[in-house]
Amino acid sequence: MLKIVLERIRQKHRTTKYPAEAAVLPELFRGYPRLDQTLCPDGCRACTAVCPTGAISCSGGLALDMGKCLFCPECLRDCPTGAVVFERDEKLAASSRTDLVVRTGQEHRLAQVMGKELVSLFGRSFKLREVSAGGCNACEADTNVLSTVGFDLGRFGIQFVASPRHADGIYVTGPVTGNMRIALLKTWEAIPGPKLVIAAGACAINGGPYQGHDEVHDGVDTFLPVDLYIPGCPPHPLTILDGLLRLLGRV
């Protein structure tokens, strides 16, 4: 026991100080996209040609849909003028699907806090039931990381629970495959109201790389009203944490 105490003293405090302090992100992290239409006057469409999910569009001006984006480097590599840049900004979550579409000079639209009545109910104790609706397990893995000592999600009163009867909302990952649709809807029905829906990852938002496949339903908002969209493939743990805290009015 004494050895354990001494080791804890040696390691010191290991939990991230985010959001009280700025996020510490890896050098190669690709976050919020910044587009510059002036660097793409001719619309060469090199970026649209290589985008695997059709996230970038040049029709009516340069635009990037974070809900479809896999945050891969293909557009960066092929854009000859640098019109597309990903900043090291982890704040990506949004309250509406349209807020995920980024255009040149557009203000960064962050996720909004839920209504006052819901904040009074969930602001200090928010329980979520996670449903992996056909995901590859990447989004699930980065979500599970939040429960470790490095992030300690529980210090904000946010927890993932085993039973939907104990939950305040549903947290969905994956493109909603055909064999998970009924399970997803039954889980949603089992959660007592009022309740919220969170779509985490490109698959849950728009189908991700499986978009349009016969066996998937291209995201959760084809069935349920989504209150929070967390883009990424997978979203970084701090992106998830930031979105949840903004939803609860804790940032």
Residue 106, pLDDT score: 87
The candidate with the shortest Cα–Cα distance to 175, out of 248, 51, 68, 57, is 68
Bridge partners, 64 (sequence order): 56, 102
Domain ranges of the chain: 116-247
pLDDT at 177: 95
Question: What is the token pair recorded at 115?
Answer: 């209504």
pLDDT at 231 (0 to 100): 98
- In the prediction, which pLDDT does 24 show? 86
**Cβ(63)–Cβ(27) below 8 Å:** no
* DSSP-assigned beta bridge partners for residue 167: none
Whole-prediction pTM: 0.93
Tokens of residue 8, six digits: 């804890």
pLDDT value at position 221?
A: 93
Domain 116-247, CATH number (from 3.40.50.12280, 3.30.420.10, 3.40.50.740, 3.40.50.2300): 3.40.50.12280
Residue among 108, 107, 51, 71 at smallest CA distance from 231: 71
Q: Profile the chain (251 residues) by mean pLDDT over runs of 10 residues.
A: 79 84 90 91 84 90 94 92 93 96 91 92 94 94 94 95 96 95 96 96 95 92 95 97 95 83
